[in-house]
Structure 1
């Protein structure tokens, strides 16, 4: 079953890189008591993700936060170290990078994209959601190969 507007965020463990190594992030705790924009990409360093998706949120971060958003997070199926390197290469220090390497979040939300036939395995689908105190208030999921409804500009229109 795919997560929908009105559903609670699943209770899973994600990871982010720190100077001391990977840090576990409980999703319920991460989203509790605040408004978070979460966008997901199929993979760090992939063409659309690096050319449009992440850079759009980096560029629009101040505008998004001015609409009452406490944090902007990017979720990907890559490990925390890859996401840390990608963040540095894209100057995305204003975005929290969350690793869903075992697909626990993606599986629990039904937002998986199977790219096995293209040599990439199972990944997060491209999506954006607005989460207010752990509850999904907006969800935009892209069709495979499309980049329209999950952009920073599209999210800004929904805030």
Structure 2
């Protein structure tokens, strides 16, 4: 699993922003300034849609006030699904989305989870990270169902603890 001090791996992804969809790499998308990165098992899945993403949308201004340059959500979904989710949740233009359709970024970061038993294939484990200029400063992984260690309130507390 990726750890503090590790650089973000370079994996092809689709970036979904308020400006549209672009081909890029994970290190480019996450490599400038202070980035709050959070990863979810799947767009529109119940916990991700109701409990995880909305906290980042509602706390966007607080995160920016704490010095965050970019908020990025990743999931092992295609870019069409990620764009639809961004639009449906009111997050488009506030949060950027990385579509990791094959789970390659999840695997490269060691944050992958095999959900084949439920027909979902390789997905991200629910996680979050603080990344500064492409280098991981902190990683948070949920060890039980739900959103506690990786939600926006926990990330705000981590930023405060770091003096931001």
Instruction: Give the TM-score category using the shorter length.
Output: over 0.9
1:119 is the counterpart of 2:119: yes
Q: How far apart, CA to CA, are the structure 2 residues paired with 1:128 and 1:33?
A: 17
Residue 118 of structure 1 deviates from its aligned partner by 1.4
Q: How far apart, CA to CA, are the structure 1 residues paired with 2:82 and 2:109?
A: 21
* Structure 1 residues 38-49: aligned runs within 5 Å: 38-49=37-48
TM-score (norm 2): 0.90
Deviates more, 1:2-11 or 1:138-147: 138-147
1:97 is the counterpart of 2:97: yes
The runs of 5 or more residues in structure 2 that have no matched partner are: 160-164
Give the secondary structure class of the aligned counterpart of 1:42.
Answer: coil
Deviation digits for residues 3-26 of structure 1 (CA, Å, limit 9, x no counterpart):
111111001111024799742122
Give the secondary structure class of the aligned counterpart of 1:68.
Answer: coil
Residue 31 of structure 1 deviates from its aligned partner by 2.5
Q: How far apart, CA to CA, are the structure 1 residues paired with 2:18 and 2:158?
A: 35
The runs of 5 or more residues in structure 1 that have no matched partner are: none
Give the secondary structure class of the aligned counterpart of 2:59.
Answer: helix
Residue 32 of structure 1 deviates from its aligned partner by 2.6
Q: 1:16 corresponds to which residue?
A: 15
Give the secondary structure class of the aligned counterpart of 2:90.
Answer: coil
Residue 142 of structure 1 deviates from its aligned partner by 1.0
Deviates more, 1:51-60 or 1:96-105: 96-105
Q: How far apart, CA to CA, are the structure 1 residues paired with 2:83 and 2:11?
A: 20
Kindly tell me: are residues 60 and 24 of structure 1, through their superposed partners in 2, closer, same or farther at Cα, counting changes over 3 Å? same
TM-score (norm 1): 0.93
Give the secondary structure class of the aligned counterpart of 1:153.
Answer: helix
Q: 1:71 corresponds to which residue?
A: 70
Count the aligned residue pairs.
158
Q: 1:60 corresponds to which residue?
A: 59
Kindly tell me: are residues 136 and 20 of structure 1, through their superposed partners in 2, closer, same or farther at Cα, counting changes over 3 Å? closer
Q: 2:162 corresponds to which residue?
A: none
